[in-house]
Amino acid sequence: MEITRQTEVYTTAVDGPLVVQLWHHVTSVEGVDCLSAAIANQLRVHKGVYVLHVTMTTKAPDSQARERINQLTTRYAQRTRASALVFEGGGFGAATVRAVVAGISMITPYPFPYKVFAHVSTAVDWLGTLPKEPGSDEAFARTQTEIDRMRVIYANHYKSIRPDGKGGRASSRAAR
């Protein structure tokens, strides 16, 4: 899996026909635009794409981000093979968000298979049951490991930066 962009807010990555958006905090317009660019790039090589969104936040996107998501969905609807949304985390908040999002998608369905999950592994298992694009089985097999790797990269880079902008593990230790 190739990371195409990583910020403090999101990581975008691609692996064959699979496009992954890992939301670290809130869904942002910049992140949706980056996801859109990644989808466009993959569609230059593949007939269709699978989109996997993974988030731990239960905060809803603002109106601009929602509008951008709607534009992205419309733009790529015919070539999106499926989309899975993973709201990780236990507890009432995450379960409520999953239920609300699943309910909304039943009322206004997407023009492609779409499902909400609590775990990356179950989302990838579901994607694997759908009609295949060349390279999708291999990409799905690597997904959990690659998402774990992206999280380590994120944590090593962003979690070690202090609010004053000084960062790195060495400078944090030296400041103690």
Domain around 137: 2-174
The top-scoring range by mean pLDDT among 4-8, 112-116, 158-162 is 4-8
pTM of the predicted structure, to 2 decimals: 0.81
**Exposed e or buried b for every residue in 122-134, given b needs 16+ CB within 10 A?**
ebbeebeeeeebe
Number of domains present in the structure of the chain: 1
CATH code (residue 123): 3.30.750.24
pLDDT digit string (tens) for 32-78? 999 999 999 999 999 999 999 998 765 777 889 889 988 999 999 99
Cβ–Cβ under 8 Å, residues 38 and 17: no
Residues 137/128, Cβ–Cβ less than 8 Å = yes
Tens-place pLDDT, residues 112-152:
898 888 889 999 999 999 999 999 999 999 999 999 999 88
